[in-house]
């Protein structure tokens, strides 16, 4: 059943999909999103449970303003980490970059597991709630997604976005056309991290508990699947992929453990059956033309 709780989870999936999409749009296969997601979530979990100034109530409530602040801070912290690490990591190409980001995810995961204040294997629980029900999270999640989508949409008609697309097509040629590819790649990487960090902060509150398992290698695989299945040519692809693939295991829950196998099959067969994902460039073109026609239609 698709209830509000599942909807929020689906939106979180969509957000993480866009986060993985951003470096990919600049031709970089980065699997670092879970690390930034974990960082943002841990920050929110820690702040809300240990900083009284934020106003966590004894009844488990939490002021909306503090919640929004945490979204911001989670994003900023993740972004700062990305800035630090990105310069080093983005010098690497192709598979080396992917492996380096996998390593980053693992290091962050183990750090969160072992640092004295992050709750160890059990994690942090009893994270206060800014909303009484799951439905309350829908608006912030949608808001975050709308923000992310707006940025992605604007990128397509901006020098920065075009530079990303150029790098994706041919990095050397892009450099020879005057593009500082390191800077562009870093920007995409940091944007991706900020989004993941904010999403983590939101998720920590939504899930009420947070531990090191939230950001691990298999979550990276899942998010990658969102992009691959949804289509990597446009940000709509990972949104669709994230929504679908998050809903799928839940909808298949009655089937038991088979759902994870089916999930794996989707990832296994997806690239063969849908090499361009579901949101193909052809589909995008048709949608674009529909949009143009709608604009030209006279008002009656």
Partner 1 sequence: MTMPPLLEVQDLTCRFGGLVALDRVSFAVQPGEIFGLIGPNGAGKTTLFNLISGVTTPTAGSVLWRGAPITGLPPHRLNRLGLARTFQNLRLFDGLSVLENLLVALQRRPRSGALAGLLASPSHQQAERQRQETAWQLLEELGLSRLAEREAGTLAYGDRRRLEMARALATGPQVLLLDEPAAGLNPSEKDDLCQLIAALRQRHQLTVMIIEHHVPLLMRLCDRMAVLDFGVRIALGSPEQVRRDPKVIEAYLGSGSTQSGSGGAAP
Partner 2 sequence: MIETLLQTLLNGAASGGVYALVALGYTLVFSVLGVINFALGALFSLGGYLTYLLMGGAISANGGLPGWGLPFGLPFPLALLLAAALTGLASLGVERLAFTPLRRRNAEPLLVLITSLGAGLVLVNLLQMLMGAEGYAFPATALAGLPDAVVLGGARIRSVQVLLLAVCAAAVIALTLWLERSRSGRALKAVAEDATTARLLGINSDAMLRLAFLLSGALAGLGGGLIGVSISLPGPYVGIGYGLKGLAVLVLGGLGSVPGAIAGGLLMGLAEALVPGEASGWRDALAFAILFAVLLLRPTGLLGRRLVEKV
Q: Which residues bind partner 2 (CB under 8 A)?
A: 29, 88-89, 91-92, 94-96, 98-100, 102-104, 106-107, 110-111, 113-114, 172, 217-218, 221, 224-225, 228, 256-258, 260-261, 263-272, 275
Output 99 or 177, the one with its CB closest to partner 1.
177
Q: Which of 90, 74, 94, 87 is nearest to 215 (CA)?
A: 74
**179 makes contact with partner 1 (CB under 8 A):** yes
Residue of 115, 135, 139, 170 interacting with partner 1 (CB under 8 A): 170
Q: By rule CB under 8 A, what string of x and - marks binding of each residue 92-131 to partner 1?
A: ----------------------------------------
Question: By C-beta, is 18 or 98 nearer to partner 2?
Answer: 98
Q: Please report how close the Cβ of residue 275 comes to partner 2 at its closest, in angstroms.
A: 7
The reply on whether position 165 binds partner 1 by CB under 8 A is yes
Query: Shortest distance, CB of residue 160 to partner 1, whole angstroms?
Result: 5
- In the complex with partner 1, the residue whose CB is nearer, 69 or 165, is 165
Interaction of residue 157 with partner 1, rule CB under 8 A: yes
Q: Which does 175 bind (CB under 5 to 8 A by kind): partner 1, partner 2, none?
A: partner 1
Strand partners, 129: 61
Binding-site size, partner 1 (CB under 8 A):
25
Q: How far is the CB of 172 from partner 2 (least distance, A)?
A: 7
Residue 265 site contact among partner 1, partner 2, none (CB < 5 to 8 Å, cut-off depends on kind): partner 2
For the bound state, the minimum distance from the C-beta of residue 118 to partner 2, rounded and expressed in Å, comes to 12
* From partner 1, partner 2, none, interface partner of 179 (C-beta below 5 to 8 A by class): partner 1
Please write down the HEC assignment for all residues of the chain: CCCHHHHHHHHHHHHHHHHHHHHHHCCCCCCCHHHHHHHHHHHHHHHHHHCHHHCCCCCCECCHHHHHHHHHHHHHHHHHHHHHHHHHHCCCCHHHHHHHHHHHHHHHHHHHHHCCCCCCCCCECCCCECCCCHHHHHHHHHHHHHHHHHHHHHHCCCHHHHHHHHHHHCHHHHHHCCCCHHHHHHHHHHHHHHHHHHHHHHHHHHHCCECHHHCCHHHHHHHHHHHHHHCCCCCHHHHHHHHHHHHHHHHCHHHCCHHHHHHHHHHHHHHHHCCCCCCCHHHHHHHHHHHHHHHHCCCC
Question: What angle (nearest 5°) sits at the alpha carbon of residue 138, between those of residues 133 and 144?
Answer: 140
160 binds partner 1 (CB under 8 A): yes
Of partner 2, partner 1, none, which one sits near residue 159, judging by CB under 5 to 8 A according to partner kind? partner 1
């Amino acid at each position: 059943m698709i209830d509000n709780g599942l909807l929020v989870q689906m939106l979180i999936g969509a957000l993480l999909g866009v986060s993985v999409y951003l470096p990919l749009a600049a031709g970089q296969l980065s699997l670092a999103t879970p690390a930034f997601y974990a960082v943002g979530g841990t920050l929110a979990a820690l702040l809300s449970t240990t900083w009284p100034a934020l106003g966590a109530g004894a009844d488990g409530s939490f002021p909306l303003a503090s919640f929004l602040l945490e979204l911001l801070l989670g994003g900023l912290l993740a972004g700062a980490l990305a800035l630090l690490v990105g310069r080093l990591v983005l010098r690497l190409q192709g598979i080396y970059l992917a492996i380096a980001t996998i390593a980053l995810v693992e290091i962050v995961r183990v750090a969160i597991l072992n640092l004295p204040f992050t709750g160890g294997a059990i994690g942090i629980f009893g994270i206060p709630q800014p909303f009484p029900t799951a439905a309350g999270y829908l608006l912030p999640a949608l808001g975050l997604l709308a923000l992310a989508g707006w940025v992605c949409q604007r990128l397509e008609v901006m020098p920065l976005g075009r530079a990303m697309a150029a790098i994706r097509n041919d990095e050397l040629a892009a450099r020879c056309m005057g593009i500082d590819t390191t800077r562009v790649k870093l920007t995409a990487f940091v944007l991706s991290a900020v989004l993941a960090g904010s999403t983590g902060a939101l998720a920590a509150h939504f899930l009420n508990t947070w531990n090191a398992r939230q950001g691990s290698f298999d979550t990276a695989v899942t998010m990658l699947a969102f992009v691959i299945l949804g289509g990597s040519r446009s940000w709509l692809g990972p949104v669709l992929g994230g929504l679908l693939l998050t809903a799928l295991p839940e909808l298949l829950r009655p089937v038991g453990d088979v759902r994870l196998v089916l999930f794996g099959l989707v990832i296994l067969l997806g690239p063969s059956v849908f090499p361009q994902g579901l949101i193909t460039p052809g589909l995008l073109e048709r949608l674009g033309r529909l949009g143009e026609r709608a604009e030209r239609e006279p008002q009656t």
